[in-house]
């Protein structure tokens, strides 16, 4: 069967070849942007501006959250009693069998000369230092 014979069949005559198989209008113009050329250039610039604003808001929120977290954890200064306990602990820290480097590091703010804004020896550690000092004596 040749092509012309096939084209004369009733089923072929019913089909309108000017319409697309998907039913979409082929004269529909695409905007020239996006996947498979769908969307317009104005849409792309609008969506790009929205993404930039969303990123700026997200970074501003993250900064604010980190600042809130940092300021809430800090206290103003060490008391004189805490500084004295920390200095005493640092004097005897390397003399014992069990050397706790993290405890030595936590007490570094007590012997520094610059003003700090962080509590270097929290209350639980100062009680532990008192206990260790009383055991060493």
Structural domain including 44 reads 35-73
Residue 18 lies in a domain: no
Residue 24 lies in a domain: no
Residue 99 lies in a domain: yes
The total domain count for the chain is 2
Residue 22 lies in a domain: no
Instruction: Name which residue leads in pLDDT, 79 or 130.
Output: 79
Residue 129 lies in a domain: yes
* pLDDT on residue 116: 53
Q: Which residue has the tokens 């805490």?
A: 82
Domain closes at, from 57, 73, 89: 73
- What's the burial of 86, exposed, middle or buried (CB within 10 Å: 0-12/13-18/19+)? buried
Domain closes at, from 27, 52, 73: 73
* pLDDT on residue 130: 74
Residue 89 lies in a domain: yes
On whether both 55 and 90 belong to a single domain, the answer is no
* pLDDT on residue 31: 66
**pTM > 0.75:** no
85-121 pLDDT, tens per residue?
888 888 888 887 888 888 888 888 777 765 555 555 5
21-75 pLDDT, tens per residue?
777 776 666 666 666 666 677 777 787 888 888 888 888 888 887 766 655 545 5
On whether both 86 and 128 belong to a single domain, the answer is yes
Residue 11 lies in a domain: no
- What's the burial of 62, exposed, middle or buried (CB within 10 Å: 0-12/13-18/19+)? exposed
């Amino acid at each position: 069967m040749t092509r012309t014979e096939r084209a004369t069949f009733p089923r072929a005559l019913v089909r309108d070849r000017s319409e697309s198989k998907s039913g979409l209008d082929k004269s529909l113009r695409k905007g020239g942007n996006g996947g498979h050329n769908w969307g317009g250039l104005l849409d792309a610039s609008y969506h790009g501006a929205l993404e930039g604003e969303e990123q700026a808001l997200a970074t501003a929120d993250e900064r604010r959250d980190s600042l809130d977290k940092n300021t809430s954890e800090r206290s103003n200064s060490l008391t004189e009693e805490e500084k004295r306990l920390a200095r005493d602990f640092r004097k005897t820290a390397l003399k014992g069998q069990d050397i706790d480097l993290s405890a030595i590091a936590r007490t570094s703010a007590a012997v520094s000369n610059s003003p700090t804004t962080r509590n270097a020896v929290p209350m639980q550690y100062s009680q532990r230092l008192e206990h260790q000092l009383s055991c060493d004596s």
